Amino acid sequence: MKNKKMLLPIEKVNPGMKTAEVVFNKLGNVMLWDGVALDSITIERLKNIGIEEISVHVEDPREKEIKYDYDSPQLFAAEYEQDANSTRQVFQSISSGRRLDIQATDEIVDSVLRKSESNRNIIDSITQVRSIDEYTYYHSLNVSMLCMIIGKWLRLDEYHVRNLTQAGLLHDIGKTRIPLEILNKPDKLTDAEFEEMKRHSEYGYNIVKNSDDIPPEVAKAILTHHEKEDGSGYPIGLTEDKLNLYSKVITVADIFDAMTANRTYKSKDTPFKVFELMQHGSFGILDPIVLNAFLNNVTTYYIGASVLLNTGETGIVVFMNKQNLSRPVVQVGDRYIDTSVSKFVRIKEFI
Ligand SMILES: [Fe+2]
Ligand SMILES: [Fe+2]
């Protein structure tokens, strides 16, 4: 596919085009990196904060492929539910003693990979509330989607992005061997129950290790997805030099999905809080390169979002503070409020 790079007025920019250069806001801060697929919400937000023109890649219309319109949230949501359902079937089939259905697994991986330009839909669907007994299926699918987009942000090639998507989908497959009364227990687990729960990494490894269709690095990532950089994880206590990249990516995706799921019940300012916790509370746990690739890119999806402040005013997020991601700069009318400086002002919710 041939692409032309063009500087276009924002009114002429259409969903599906990709940024050809970094987009800066009027304060000189990065709004979007180059190579970002634009969707209608992002384009609207760029207009709202006064961006007049941007440089984009434009496809030559003679070579345009017929593509699925994943910019549509409805279409995305329908496929997402279907993929979650297929994930449930793959997991339940293993619970009932059958081998891993590799064909069904590949179909889900293909479906996730087709959504590789739908980052906003992926990020939105991850923050939805799920029932506890369905949690593992949605979580597995979410981690798979997050692994895919982090792989792309790390600029890995297609082979590795596919493996990562598969590893993310199967990382908790060992939970099919954990008794349901432990898996779905709403209260805190006892020490013995927690020890059993921790064995899901080994159980998962045992399910996939002899399959010719699962690359050995994927199997290893399933075994080591709860290891930590400083060696304090399980089941082995490996340190960062012994962990493969897939495992490091899964850990970041896993923590983000688990944190947003837990916190969705409590408040709507979830993502900012989660970013802060990941940024400041993960030293020694998460790989800094993977974490930075994730945070630097994912936070741009919140620039231009409308928010309600605790002062009762409404505003638009115009800049994420890299040092303090939970406290961005918000534009209220013609004022800029840096919530990292004005400590008493905070974001109450998205509107
Ligand atoms: Fe896990
Ligand atoms: Fe997990």
Tell me the average pLDDT across 49-76.
70
Q: How far is the CA of 230 from the centre of ligand 2 (A)?
A: 19
Domains in the chain with CATH codes: 3-63 (3.90.105.10), 73-265 (1.10.3210.10), 300-350 (2.30.30)
Give the model's confidence band at 66: pLDDT under 50 very low, under 70 low, under 90 confident, else very high: very low
**Across the chain, what does the average pLDDT equal?**
87
In the chain, pLDDT over 90 holds for what percent of residues? 47
pLDDT for 71: 66
What distance in Å separates the CA atoms of residue 248 and residue 93, rounded to the nearest whole number?
28
Q: Which ligand is nearest to the CA of 201?
A: 1
Q: Which ligand is nearest to the CA of 147?
A: 2
Q: Which ligand is nearest to the CA of 225?
A: 1
Q: How far is the CA of 23 from the centre of ligand 1 (A)?
A: 37
pLDDT for 69: 59
pLDDT for 126: 81
Q: How far is the CA of 221 from the centre of ligand 1 (A)?
A: 11
pTM of the model as a whole:
0.81
Q: Which ligand is nearest to the CA of 135?
A: 2
Q: Which residues contact 323 (CB under 8 A, 6 or more apart)?
A: 340
Tell me the average pLDDT across 245-258.
94
Q: Which ligand is nearest to the CA of 224?
A: 1
Q: How far is the CA of 247 from the centre of ligand 1 (A)?
A: 11
